[in-house]
Structure 1
Amino acid sequence: MTGDRYITVIYLMEIVKEDPHAKEILHVPPGQKQTITTTTSEAPESNTKDMTDVSQKYEIVLEDKWQKEIEMANEMIHRFNRDNMRENLRYLSEKPHMAATPRDNELAEHVKGKFEEAGFDSVELVPYNLYLSKPDPNNPNKITLQMNGENLFISNHRELEIHEGDGDPDFVDAFNAFTPAGTVSTEPGVGVVYVNYGRREDFEKLEELGINITGHIALVRYGKIYRGNKIRNAEQFGANGIIIFSDPEDVAADGIASENVYDHTWWLPGTGMQRGSTYLGDGDPLTPGWPSTEHAYRISEEESDLHKIPCQPIGYSDAIQILERLDGPIAPEDWQGGYPGFTYKLGPFFNSQNGSVSLTLSTHNSGKIERSFNVIGIIKGSIEPDRYVLIGNHRDAWGYGAADPSSGTAQLLETVRVYGTFLKEGWRPRRTIIFCSWGAEEFGLIGSTEWVEENINKLQSRAVAYINTDTCTSGPELHIRASPLMHDLFTNVTKMIPGVKDSSKTVYDEWKEYNIRFKPSAPEHPIIKALGSGSDYAPFNVYGGIPAADIWFRRDEVKYNITMYPFYHTGYETFYMVSNFIDPEFKIHEGCGRVASLAIKYLADSSIIPYIMMRGRRGEEYIHKYNHDLNCSYEQ
């Protein structure tokens, strides 16, 4: 044919090398012959012969394997077992498992055993000696209100047991990691300033209103920005301490009565306290840029970028004890919280009834070197064993961690089991697949960062992609963050998987319908956000430059205008909570596992890595959106 030529291709990169004049790659539906059509009227005559040679060279390996691929994908989807995922989650979340505790180490061994049962080619525990910050178990952090030497109020240091089994004695007291030990007290009748969400613009608003926070304690609510940034802002504006509370507007939107909160609904009771790291970097604070191996050089605590003022998280039932004593100007309308029938004021003065009251913030956190383990399991590739597709989830939690991270670990273990069944039937991926269970993520992505730092040269030259499933399930709506190269991968994979709300639809259908509700002007495909820095994908993507993605089924943001699911990082993030109010049938866990498993299947097994370069307006939109999203990554 004079102007056109038809060449069947198995490896696109070879064709691109041979024919720089190729203009367009046509999408080929499953089951049809894969062809590329190019116009060659402007191409040199010799190119036709070159392309014919390429066609002949690959004639033997051009077999159409679409049908076999589809059959395996369908089989993989149907091998997921929701009962297994339920049992995985029950076991993983039955006890607190903060990093480097005996229970965390026990779970590392459990995960290692599951990898071995699946028949992986190699499984190992990879230890790191990490600098971790924890409270004194014998001297809890507290906030005290006193008048004339008499205690009027002492804050809770742990959640009250509401549902049977919530009160494990090993549960860590409320604290914010990597904040110092210290005691600060106000003068009688003055010394606390309410600063909304503790954003920079909130502190600047106080200055506009003529309120000086220097030497006072900042009282801020959780949400909008990372807790570490709240503390850094407070330091920069001169505060000598900070208290962070969960406001009913964000965690108890249906009301604070007992019938409106846990254990009757998913909303947070007044004693729920959000723990969390405040470190502004990633990895071990004392080994920035290199791995925390046994004999690693460590900088001093003074050299590290850790906070200088004490900080303590509290629940809203404790926060009201402070808020109701504040006087001063009424807070702006958009600073008013959700405590019913109450008007928030700014301070710094206490009201006339509390003119002799002083507040003392006392914390007893300290840091030390502790050993934490990553679990690494490898399925060796049959054709490209030196190309790595990685999937990971962190194992440690601030408490029971039934959503963060154990919903992700429950999914990971079932994905491991499913892959093991294929291995036992003789299947082997084209590229190597590496399964990762990270330690000490909650303290600042430490386990994953140290491993990436130790293996950076291999990863940068060999890694194809990293898939992250941190909090796999905290609601029914799919949210994906991903490198642009992987957008089409998730669009295509989700079209193959039954919906988690309606199995007559696909996950893609439900994802798209939600996006239309969330953003009516949304583009043709569902929104895939830019990667931030809030989970274990960050060291791969930001430090390693490796394409990455994060899969998370989360709350309906149209229905719930809140920053995070209400029980996040509290003592009420339990198996009872998740199995009763989030995913009773474990269809969402199953959906998360299916999306993750098919994504790594196609990344590891496709002859052509399923990357699509962003083109035209979609690429331009992504760049603008990426610049915005870099400042809006979700909390750790």
Structure 2
Amino acid sequence: MDQARTTISKIFNGEPQSYTRFSLTQNMEGGDSQVEMKLSPEADEEVGTNGVGEHLNHQREYYKKKPARSPRDICFLIAATLLIFIIGYLIGYLVHRKQDKTMLECDQTQAAAVSAIDDDDLTLTGDSAPKQLDWSDVRTMLADRLTVSQIDASLSEFARNDHQAGSPGDEVLANKVLKRFKDNNMDTWVDEHSVQLQLPPASGSNTVEFRGQSVGSLQGYLAYSGNGTAQGPVVYAHYGQKEDFDDLKDLTTNLTGRIILVRAGKISFAEKVANAASMDASGVLIYPDPADYALGDATHLFGHVHLGTGDPYTTGFPSFQHTQFPPTRSSGLPSILAQTITASMAKTIMRSMGGRNAPRVWARGELSGVQYKLGDDNDIVSMGVNNVLVETNIHNVFGVIKGVQDEDRYVVIGAQRDAWGPGFAKSTVGTTLLVELARSISNMVREGRFMPRRSVVFASWSAGEYGSVGATEWLEGYLTSLNMKAYTYISLDGVVTGSGSFQASGSPLLSDLLTETLKEVKSVGDAGKTIYSQATAASGKTSLLEPLQLTDPVYPFITFSGIPSVSFQLNGKQTYPYLNTLLDTRDKLNAATSGNLAQLIRAAGQVAGHMALRLVHDHLLKMGVETYSQVVNKYVIDIMDKVNDLKRSSMLPRTVTTDWLTSARGSFGRSARELRRVIRESNLEDVEQCRKINDRIMRVEANLLSPYVSPTTQPFRHILLGTGSHTLTALVEQLDAFKSLGTGDVEALKTKLALTTWTIQTCANALAGDVWELDNDV
């Protein structure tokens, strides 16, 4: 080899009669270097001392003539050349083989439509849109992974007796949820909020006395009650609904300064207290009547009386620790006192009450030995409330499975984690189902068989018992991005409280998807039936969405953030009575579900899972825009009839018209029908086309939020499902007030009509698409 090297050196450093010149020219376009070979027949010019010519641009170079090489040198030259050739051939072969292998693997990957998966965060990669599985295959995969045994194990893991919001027990559960998300290789994060929660008295308890005697020791309480003392004659007001107070007014019962005694049920605690406050009452006592709740006489109730959601001391603002909170206070906070009492305590009061008999319907209670009366001036009740406002840190925990195509669009599945006591049906079931759905879907993705087009976010909320505080603070903190990117929220709160029946509430946009889903999931304990057939047979209704209530966990998502949302519940024919008590335990829920608890939770998981997976599986979002057309039509026709009736009665001038409102309704309907035509005639395999259509669908809910009111004063801005003077419900009530009073503020009515009209019209314009698609004839 040394001899060969010497010979090669002589070749390159020598001065032959004819030479080989290697010119290494860099390819500035990024290619490989090129080798140029030139032969010269003679040498006319000497070179420099280094043996390399100084002319670089393909000029001839000349060297002095030397004697001819010996045969031995020639043999070594041939051997060296052959060696170089063999080495070069082997290198070229290996490179070519590697390229062929890479191309083969790429072709196989495309044929199988499987993108690479990053095991650290379940982020799917791949430039082209993946070929999706059939929907039936996706359903089967979820059913195989969402098992009863896993659900049972998680129920035991997440059951606690002490997980009130912000407590050490709540933090333990938060860490467990976070660990489960991480174990599933999901991207995770935690939001901490500093919120004001009202707790029971730090020492002693709240008090209630009837005719100077204590009715007993109070354990339950109502958060966000007014504090202080109140005294006055007690008045029985049935359930404390508006119509109940209207009936009392008709009976000429004076309610100013009175203590109102009402039954739990029908409406929320907060609404009962707000209705009493509107009648100038000084306090409210709420008890569970045995006719409504099979609880026993000594069961205490817990709840809150904030007529709203979120931290009532940072309305419209997120309660992050770094936020400079303005000195605001929710208008939904009551100024009067509120307290729960047991059925036994209510019996003590009502047995001795005088006054006239209550209306017959009101008297259908089951307090033993009680004749239901309205009360008189001698029935004096004194109450004292000394709840404590405490700044508390709460944590919301999140995990995400990212989509392969529209990663920045996501469905959110959430459940509250906290409870007053055991809260088994209220929170443990939902938290269990949350982590089990996260495990099942992440397994489907990690195995490479399911590739969601869009992302799925799993959220564990805290302070749900105080009025969806954790969820609302998250919405307030990220409002501007959420109503552009979060296209659906599915709540798992209280999804199982019994068997044999079903109820749901939420956005009309999701009504069709819910119906399709319920037709796919088998009922538990009723062979051959689906949940849909079982539910419609029991209710006699084809549409299963009930009116949205303020206490619904999806209420702030729809009415504050404009995110289409749905909550649902598998329940029994009898109401599960243990919510908001310390008796909400696993044993109680097992009894209410006839021992089928885990099977019912699995069925509820299939309902939530099918809806979420359908929304991330299909090119096109399954949302029915035309269902909102029906809602708008119903309201507008009602308003039009009432206005025309008032004009005929000369209670409204002829200048008040509903023509423009009717026109806006027509625009909304036409836009919805046009979108349906576009969908019908579009290539639904065209990713970009579907994304444009999906963006139009996603904006419907958000565009029904009134832009003419502030979220700090009217947070629930949805004109169809929200609360406040901007809603169509308020407009109908104002017209009813005109009729009952014979007069009203005409200019305020005209303004409300105009703002309502333009909110509907702008929603129709956005639904129609790009501005050049609009045609508003003048």
TM-score, normalising length: structure 1: 0.75
Contact between 1:408 and 1:470, CA under 8 Å: does it hold in 2?
A: yes
Alignment of 1:101-500 (within 5 A): 101-120=167-186, 122-145=187-210, 147=212, 151=213, 153-158=214-219, 174-186=220-232, 191-251=233-293, 267-300=294-327, 305-336=332-363, 337-350=365-378, 359-426=381-448, 427-476=450-499, 477-500=501-524
Cα offset for 1:273?
Answer: 2.1
C-alpha distance in structure 1 between counterparts of 2:266 and 2:528, whole Å: 36
Change (3 A) 1:383 1:276: same
Contact between 1:277 and 1:443, CA under 8 Å: does it hold in 2?
A: yes
C-alpha distance in structure 1 between counterparts of 2:425 and 2:368, whole Å: 29
1:552 pairs with 2:569: yes
Contact between 1:483 and 1:530, CA under 8 Å: does it hold in 2?
A: no
Cα offset for 1:622?
Answer: 7.5
In the TM superposition, what whole-angstrom CA distance separates every residue of 1:54-101 from its partner, at most 9, and x where no partner exists?
xxxxxx9897x56x3312211212322223323433443331321111
C-alpha distance in structure 2 between counterparts of 1:580 and 1:448, whole Å: 31
Aligned length: 512
SS at match of 2:181: helix
C-alpha distance in structure 2 between counterparts of 1:630 and 1:293, whole Å: 25
Change (3 A) 1:416 1:221: same
Cα offset for 1:629?
Answer: 7.7
C-alpha distance in structure 2 between counterparts of 1:213 and 1:569, whole Å: 28
Contact between 2:509 and 2:628, CA under 8 Å: does it hold in 1?
A: no
C-alpha distance in structure 2 between counterparts of 1:623 and 1:551, whole Å: 25
Change (3 A) 1:628 1:510: farther
Quick one: higher RCO (CA 8 Å, sep 6+), 1 or 2?
Answer: 1
SS at match of 1:321: helix
Contact between 1:156 and 1:318, CA under 8 Å: does it hold in 2?
A: no
Q: Which residue of 2 aligns with 1:11?
A: none
C-alpha distance in structure 2 between counterparts of 1:456 and 1:345, whole Å: 49
Give the alignment partner of residue 89 of structure 1, picking from 142, 152, 155.
155
SS at match of 1:607: coil
Contact between 2:154 and 2:432, CA under 8 Å: does it hold in 1?
A: yes
Cα offset for 1:467?
Answer: 0.9
SS at match of 1:404: helix
SS at match of 1:334: coil
C-alpha distance in structure 1 between counterparts of 2:185 and 2:483, whole Å: 27
Give ranges in structure 2 of 5+ residues lacking alignment.
Answer: 1-127, 639-717, 724-778
1:311 partner letter: A
C-alpha distance in structure 2 between counterparts of 1:606 and 1:62, whole Å: 12
1:593 pairs with 2:605: yes
In the TM superposition, what whole-angstrom CA distance separates every residue of 1:88-138 from its partner, at most 9, and x where no partner exists?
334433313211111111111111111111221x11221000011111142
Q: Which residue of 1 aligns with 2:623?
A: 611
The range that moved more, 306-315 or 481-490, is 481-490
1:207 partner letter: K
Change (3 A) 1:303 1:115: closer
Asked which structure has the greater CA Rg, the reply is: 2
Q: Which residue of 2 aligns with 1:533?
A: 550
The range that moved more, 224-233 or 103-112, is 224-233
SS at match of 1:269: coil
C-alpha distance in structure 2 between counterparts of 1:69 and 1:454, whole Å: 35
Change (3 A) 1:348 1:582: farther
1:184 partner letter: A
In the TM superposition, what whole-angstrom CA distance separates every residue of 1:526-578 from its partner, at most 9, and x where no partner exists?
4223434323322221122121111211232xxx4xxx531120111111101
1:571 partner letter: L
C-alpha distance in structure 1 between counterparts of 2:489 and 2:160, whole Å: 29
Cα offset for 1:608?
Answer: 1.7
Q: Which residue of 2 aligns with 1:262?
A: none
SS at match of 1:396: coil
Alignment of 1:26-45 (within 5 A): none
Cα offset for 1:235?
Answer: 1.9
TM-score, normalising length: structure 2: 0.62
Contact between 1:583 and 1:589, CA under 8 Å: does it hold in 2?
A: no
Change (3 A) 1:199 1:535: closer
Cα offset for 1:332?
Answer: 0.7
C-alpha distance in structure 1 between counterparts of 2:329 and 2:565, whole Å: 34
2:608 partner letter: A
Change (3 A) 1:211 1:274: same
Change (3 A) 1:319 1:462: same
Q: Which residue of 2 aligns with 1:70?
A: 136
C-alpha distance in structure 2 between counterparts of 1:318 and 1:288, whole Å: 36
2:464 partner letter: E
Give the alignment partner of residue 539 of structure 2, picking from 503, 510, 515.
515
SS at match of 1:406: helix
The range that moved more, 214-223 or 372-381, is 214-223
Change (3 A) 1:338 1:109: same
SS at match of 1:466: strand
In the TM superposition, what whole-angstrom CA distance separates every residue of 1:315-363 from its partner, at most 9, and x where no partner exists?
1111100111101101111111222453111112447xxxxxx532122
C-alpha distance in structure 2 between counterparts of 1:204 and 1:390, whole Å: 41
Contact between 2:130 and 2:451, CA under 8 Å: does it hold in 1?
A: no
Contact between 1:515 and 1:526, CA under 8 Å: does it hold in 2?
A: no
Change (3 A) 1:454 1:145: same
C-alpha distance in structure 2 between counterparts of 1:568 and 1:450, whole Å: 24
Q: CA RMSD in A?
A: 2.6
C-alpha distance in structure 2 between counterparts of 1:242 and 1:301, whole Å: 25
SS at match of 1:311: strand
Cα offset for 1:605?
Answer: 1.6
Cα offset for 1:198?
Answer: 1.3
Contact between 1:438 and 1:448, CA under 8 Å: does it hold in 2?
A: yes
Give the alignment partner of residue 589 of structure 2, picking from 560, 578, 581.
578
Cα offset for 1:280?
Answer: 1.0
1:602 pairs with 2:614: yes
Cα offset for 1:623?
Answer: 6.1
The range that moved more, 532-541 or 455-464, is 532-541
